[in-house]
Structure 1
Amino acid sequence: MTETRPALDPRRTALLVMDYQPSILNSLAAAAPDLLDNAATAIDTVRDLGGRIGYVRVAFTDADGDAIPPTSPIAALATPERLRALHADAPGTAIHEQLTPHPQDIVVRKTRIGAFSTTDLDNRLRTAGIDTLILAGVATSGVVLSTLRDAADRDYRLVVLADACADHDPAVHDFLTGKIFPRQAHVTTTARLPTLFTEQR
């Protein structure tokens, strides 16, 4: 935990719900059985307080798959079977039905690990006046780590919801949320999230 608790303005805050899709969540169900419920609670909290919700999913069109250069670390993972499972039209890449976006929410599709590099997310957040991000995502060592580092370089203020993130290796999750993330973000839980906001709608 960082020592100073931030005071978040909901009008300038967005919760990013990242890679919460069946193709990824199914492999984490046993390790983090409360993950979906925690994310749903966080969404309700931020929405009720007047903050924005952003959803990030990873999915590839046929053209996206063909465009992956052989030098990319993604290339080794982009087998035909994997690309079929992560196709933009595959049910497994849809945002989980328990977390269905509202019409006013931001939704982006990415083709790399982090939430920013292959999307217009930064521009959409800036246009909405957002300067603070709350991160929830799977996996902790994947999209959360990559997005946190990139967002910090983009000068966003950051909060990480440790119990709305999970990793295939629980020790890695604990190390990142306990030792690495607090250097650039306030790490907290969904239960404590309401106490970070300065005002309510």
Structure 2
Amino acid sequence: MPDQTTTLDPTRTALLVMDYQEGIVGQLPDTGPLLDRVAGAIDDVRGHGGHVGWVRVAFEDAEFAAVPETSMFAAFAASDQLRAAMRADAPGTQIHARLAPRADDILVRKIRVGAFSTTDLEQQLEKRGITTLVLAGISTSGVVLSTVREAMDRDYRIVVLRDACADREQETHDFLTGTLFPRTATVVDVAGLGGLWAVQ
């Protein structure tokens, strides 16, 4: 069980904003408050001197060709319409306009569900000395779940921002953030993030 009183060293902490891209955000209803909370978390992390990273899912043509038929992404590779929507330069795969990456942020593009397996995220984090990840993402049962498990196996300390994650199934979101994630991560709302910083 993670220590709920653990404080965050901003120089070694990164907020990962995962799959907050136009096409995915657009699949959820009434996302204005959700985007406001994510923007607030970004401001909080930046204000404390922490790092911000962005993860998006998108493909180049050669990557579509390499998707095996057993992959959950096989349907995207097989459909011209879905391929067009998921290309790296497609409007729907860009970070949502409400959010604003900066030039010195971490930015990775993935071609699987989790944030690590098909990216250089771990190398970028290591280069900056980051040992704690604060996670926000869509969906809770997709990129967030996969990245929590991957990060745990890589020995990162993990914080999940419960109300900066979302899922099309509320019951699934509630189970993951209320029962599963607390076994290996600290789970707080965005409003509770400020209380975790070691330097106030």
What TM-score, normalized to structure 2? 0.95
Aligned to 1:187: 187
Name the amino acid aligned to 2:70: T
Q: CA contact under 8 A between 1:87 and 1:93: conserved in structure 2?
A: yes
Name the amino acid aligned to 1:54: G
Shift of 1:129: 0.2
Aligned to 1:153: 153
Aligned to 2:85: 85
Identity %, equivalent residues: 57
Aligned to 1:72: 71
Aligned to 1:165: 165
Aligned to 1:40: 39
1:77 and 1:170 map into 2 onto residues whose CA distance is 25
2:10 and 2:126 map into 1 onto residues whose CA distance is 14
Consecutive unaligned residues in structure 1, runs of 5 or more: none
Q: Bigger shift: 39-48 or 91-100? A: 91-100
Two-structure CA RMSD over aligned residues (Å): 1.4
1:154 and 1:35 map into 2 onto residues whose CA distance is 29
1:75 and 1:188 map into 2 onto residues whose CA distance is 35
How many residue pairs end up in the alignment?
199
What TM-score, normalized to structure 1? 0.95
1:162 and 1:140 map into 2 onto residues whose CA distance is 9
Shift of 1:2: 5.7
SS at match of 1:172: helix
Aligned to 1:125: 125
Q: CA contact under 8 A between 2:22 and 2:97: conserved in structure 1?
A: no
Aligned to 2:106: 106
Name the amino acid aligned to 2:102: H
Q: Deviation per CA, 1:18-53, whole angstroms, max 9, x where unpaired?
A: 0001100011133x5411111100000000000000
Runs of 4+ in 1 over 4 A off after TM superposition: none
Q: CA contact under 8 A between 1:13 and 1:52: conserved in structure 2?
A: yes
1:62 and 1:122 map into 2 onto residues whose CA distance is 25
Aligned to 2:57: 58
Aligned to 1:139: 139
Shift of 1:75: 1.3
SS at match of 1:191: helix
1:126 and 1:93 map into 2 onto residues whose CA distance is 26
SS at match of 2:130: coil
1:136 and 1:149 map into 2 onto residues whose CA distance is 14
1:81 and 1:158 map into 2 onto residues whose CA distance is 37
Q: CA contact under 8 A between 1:2 and 1:187: conserved in structure 2?
A: no
1:98 and 1:33 map into 2 onto residues whose CA distance is 9
Q: CA contact under 8 A between 1:116 and 1:150: conserved in structure 2?
A: yes
Consecutive unaligned residues in structure 2, runs of 5 or more: none
